[in-house]
């Protein structure tokens, strides 16, 4: 057997930190300088509109509406799809809280469906069992850049009259049966915060192929102001309640440079993922996600599962960390949103426990999504980042195999 585990005094497999170079370079500096020299940073219009056009081309959609965050993108999209107070929106509790916050912001009711344990994604069959007379929308979360089974979801939507909103916060550049994620549903919301495949520091955008959805989204992100010159100051009609979610020219400048890097970035992430599937696929009790038919992920850290009982998952992770590997066990900041105070106490406001009327007639069983809990109990996330070198991935694979050889055999 190879050297002793680092946990037991042996040498660490990974002797150097993972390579994480600056994601911003001269390309972003050039675009920022051009934006500043233009004298117009406030959107919409100008460089913001140019960036939206470029996004529409890359993501193969008719319309893009930029906003200030991924949460703002989902909020804007839900509003544009007609979600209103008392409507039910089905999604997974294994997601960022922003997905649920966007629902609640419209005084709509979140309904939670379990995941498919093999794909790690929201389960179409579980969603089908939750659709009722009050269901307005389903949010399909492409978790970790892995495409959901969009054919089945779109069929569900067509059969029931329910809108399908893609949550693409982690899925830039992923495809499903040759189509870009974000171009398949009735609309989609993307994030561009600093942890995403492409980033503007923070930011987001809505994609859609529907003219009316785009029109409402564009109005909603800008307080309903009409800025094409047809309405003078004092004449804005303000047709409905809306917020200020405008992206600005600084977002757009950085975004244009990042967008140009996206194809190479996604290709590198796919190379890393492919190595894990080939070089770790034979390890006992380690199961990598099943990719849905026709799916081509753009990848975040890969949610492998350890299904053995001895040693424990946490003991394995401790040994992997000792080897110098960047291994994590949380799928999202809250793991299972069903189990948060927000949902269990329906704590909408920070300073009062009063539950708003729209949210009073539903109770949430914290045990109603057992596959989410099982994934959280067994997940071992393998690191994926386009900046990692081949040596970084060599060390990761060697470290995992070393721990498995010593602890599992």
Q: Residues near 138 by Cβ (< 8 Å), separated by ≥ 6?
A: 89, 90, 91, 127, 131, 153, 156, 157, 162, 163, 164, 165
Q: Domain residues of the chain, as ranges?
A: 26-260
Q: How far apart are CA 302 and CA 289, in angstroms?
A: 8
Q: What is the pLDDT of residue 43?
A: 78
pTM: 0.97
Q: How far apart are CA 353 and CA 356, in angstroms?
A: 9
pLDDT tens by residue, 231-244: 889 999 999 999 99
pLDDT confidence tier of residue 136, bands split at 50, 70 and 90: very high
Q: What is the pLDDT of residue 2?
A: 55
Instruction: Tell the CATH topology of 26-260.
Output: 3.40.640
Residue 124 has pLDDT above 70, yes or no: yes
Q: What is the pLDDT of residue 331?
A: 87
Going through 10-156 in order, the beta strands assigned E by DSSP cover: 63-67, 88-91, 109-112, 115-116, 121-122, 135-141
What is the overall mean pLDDT for the chain? 96
- Is-contact 299 269, C-beta < 8 A? yes
Q: How far apart are CA 62 and CA 211, in angstroms?
A: 8
Sheet holding 187-191, edge to edge: 63-67, 204-208, 187-191, 163-167, 135-141, 88-91, 109-112
pLDDT tens by residue, 243-295: 999 999 999 999 999 999 999 999 999 999 999 999 999 999 999 999 999 99
Reading phi first (left if > 0) and then psi (alpha if -120 to 50, else beta), residue 102 is in alpha
Q: How far apart are CA 233 and CA 253, in angstroms?
A: 29
Which range (42-46, 170-174, 197-201, 211-215) has the least confidence? Answer: 42-46
Residue 111 has pLDDT above 60, yes or no: yes
Q: Name the 3-class secondary structure at 99.
A: helix
Q: What is the DSSP letter of 7?
A: G
Q: What is the mean pLDDT of residues 170-178?
A: 98
Residue 212 has pLDDT above 60, yes or no: yes
- Is-contact 219 202, C-beta < 8 A? no
pLDDT tens by residue, 37-91: 999 999 788 999 999 999 999 999 999 999 999 999 999 999 999 999 999 999 9
Q: What is the mean pLDDT of residues 350-372?
A: 96
Q: What is the pLDDT of residue 1?
A: 43
pLDDT tens by residue, 63-78: 999 999 999 999 999 9
* Helix 26-38 vs helix 249-280: crossing angle, to nearest 10: 160
Q: Name the 3-class secondary structure at 400.
A: helix
Burial category of 317 from C-beta neighbours within 10 Å (exposed 0-12, middle 13-18, buried 19 and up): buried
Residue 140 has pLDDT above 90, yes or no: yes
- Write out the H or E segment, with its range, that includes residue 378: helix 370-378
């Amino acid at each position: 057997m190879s050297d002793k585990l680092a946990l037991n005094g042996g040498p660490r497999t990974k002797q150097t930190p993972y390579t994480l170079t600056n994601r911003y370079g001269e390309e972003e500096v050039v675009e920022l300088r051009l934006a500043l020299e233009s004298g117009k940073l406030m959107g919409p219009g100008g460089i913001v509109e140019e960036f939206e056009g470029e996004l529409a081309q890359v993501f193969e959609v008719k319309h893009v509406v930029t906003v200030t965050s991924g949460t703002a993108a989902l909020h804007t999209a839900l509003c544009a799809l007609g979600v209103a107070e008392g409507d039910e929106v089905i999604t997974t509790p294994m997601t960022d809280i922003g997905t649920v916050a966007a629902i609640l912001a419209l005084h709509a009711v979140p309904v939670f469906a379990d995941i498919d344990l093999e794909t790690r994604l929201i389960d179409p069959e579980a969603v089908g069992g939750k659709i009722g007379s009050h269901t307005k929308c389903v949010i399909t979360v492409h978790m970790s850049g892995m495409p959901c089974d969009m054919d089945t979801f779109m069929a569900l939507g067509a059969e029931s009259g329910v809108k399908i909103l893609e949550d693409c916060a982690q899925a830039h550049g992923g495809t499903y049966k040759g189509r870009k994620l974000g171009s398949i549903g009735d609309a989609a919301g993307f994030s561009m915060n600093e942890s995403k495949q492409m980033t503007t520091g923070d930011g987001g955008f809505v994609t859609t192929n529907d003219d009316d959805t785009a029109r409402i989204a564009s109005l909603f992100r800008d307080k309903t102001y009409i800025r094409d010159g047809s309405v003078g100051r004092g004449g804005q009609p303000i047709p409905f309640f809306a917020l200020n979610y405008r992206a600005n020219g600084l977002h757009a400048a950085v975004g244009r440079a990042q967008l140009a890097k996206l194809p190479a970035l996604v290709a590198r992430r796919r190379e890393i993922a492919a190595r894990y599937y080939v070089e770790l696929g034979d390890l006992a009790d380690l199961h990598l996600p099943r990719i849905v038919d026709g799916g081509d992920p753009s990848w975040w850290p890969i949610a492998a599962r350890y299904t053995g009982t001895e040693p424990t998952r946490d003991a394995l992770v401790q040994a992997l960390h000792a080897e110098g590997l960047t291994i994590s066990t949380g799928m999202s900041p809250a793991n299972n949103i069903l189990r948060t105070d927000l949902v269990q106490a329906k704590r909408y406001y920070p300073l009062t426990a009063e539950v708003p009327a729209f949210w009073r007639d539903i109770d949430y069983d914290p045990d109603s999504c057992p596959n989410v809990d099982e994934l959280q109990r067994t997940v071992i996330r393998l690191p994926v980042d386009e900046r990692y070198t081949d040596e970084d991935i060599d060390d990761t694979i060697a470290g995992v195999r070393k721990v498995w050889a010593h602890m599992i055999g």
